[in-house]
Structure 1
Amino acid sequence: MKNIFLLTIAFLSMTTFGQNAAKRISNYNLEKKVAIQGYDPVAYFVQKKAVKGKSTLASTHDGVVYYFSSQANKDLFLKNPSSYEPQYGGWCAFAMGDYGEKVEINPETFKIIDGKLYLFYNAFFNNTLKSWNKDETNLKKKADTNWKKIYN
């Protein structure tokens, strides 16, 4: 009886993981399952800049692949992945707040707010981080609400 219970728990855990991974893959800003266009999510916090990761230093968290620029950064990520993942699935924070849409980002245009990584679109003379900074509090609230509508 104990074995059946343990098998049931294991099956449910795998099913839930599979559903969560599939949901993340379909909603996150990924290129061939790789997040942040291959940039190292930990570098934003540790080095305070965008640093390209290496495919040889990859890790998968719930179906999403991240590249790291160093083994030390990869180890930090593995200890607490959710603290380094970008907000809103890696989509532009401004666009998520302003009109609730998934918009591509420039991985080198970012901001850390309350220990969380926010990424922004920046091309063709349109740096959305500047617009975000003008109304951050309001846009962040709206972005949080809009992301819940998309991701839940």
Structure 2
Amino acid sequence: MKRRHLLGLGLLLPAGGFLFAPRRAMARTNQARTNQEGGVAVRGTDVVAYVTEGRARPGLPAFAHDWQGARWLFATAAHRDAFAADPARYAPAYGGFCAFAVSEGYTAPIDPEAWRIVEGRLFLNHDRGVHRRWERDMARRITRGDANWPRLARQ
């Protein structure tokens, strides 16, 4: 019985450290894999606009910034410069892949109009229908996505 108890404790300790890790810190890591098409991140959407304007806004090639193997487009030079100064503040969770899909253990493309900021983190989803499903169980989906992302980011 004592051995079984110690084994259980040994399994919980590493998980406990992960569960209590600050979410903001996790947002700043594991972003090496980025959702991109033709080298352009998140379908060319200005990710700073989600934070500063509360909306999805197309970026322009004139205001591009290369970060972590992808070209990020912005609607203004000010947005580009803000991102360049602190990309972790604006970069979407899970490299810009669909948050619902990541919570299920796979990656999927996104619709820039299906988004939400939660505790300072930008989450994107495949479409508005998937986004509504993600929102119905958002806390659990974020926990599962955070657990799945390190493995998916390495693939």
Q: What CA distance in whole angstroms lies between the structure 1 residues aligned with 2:34 and 2:98?
A: 11
Q: Does 1:28 align with 2:30?
A: no
Q: Does 1:115 align with 2:117?
A: no
Q: Does 1:144 align with 2:150?
A: no
Q: Does 1:64 align with 2:66?
A: no
Aligned to 2:129: 127
Preserved CA contact (<8 Å) 2:34 2:97 = yes
Task: For 1:149, give the aligned amino acid.
Answer: R
2:47 is paired with a residue whose SS is: coil
Residue by residue over 1:20-73, the C-alpha shift from the partner in whole angstroms, topping out at 9 and shown as x without a partner, is xxx93xx32101211110010100000100000001110011222100000111
Deviation at residue 110 of structure 1 after TM alignment:
0.4
Deviation at residue 89 of structure 1 after TM alignment:
1.1
| Runs ≥4 residues deviating over 2 A | none
Select the residue among 34, 54, 65 that pairs with 1:48: 54
Aligned to 2:3: none
Q: Mark the runs of 5 or more structure 2 residues left unpaired by the alignment.
A: 1-30
- State the TM-score, normalized to the length of structure 1: 0.77
Aligned to 2:99: 93
- State the TM-score, normalized to the length of structure 2: 0.76
Q: What CA distance in whole angstroms lies between the structure 2 residues aligned with 1:108 and 1:134?
A: 18
Q: Mark the runs of 5 or more structure 1 residues left unpaired by the alignment.
A: 1-22
Kindly, what percent of the aligned residue pairs are identical?
32
Aligned to 1:37: 43
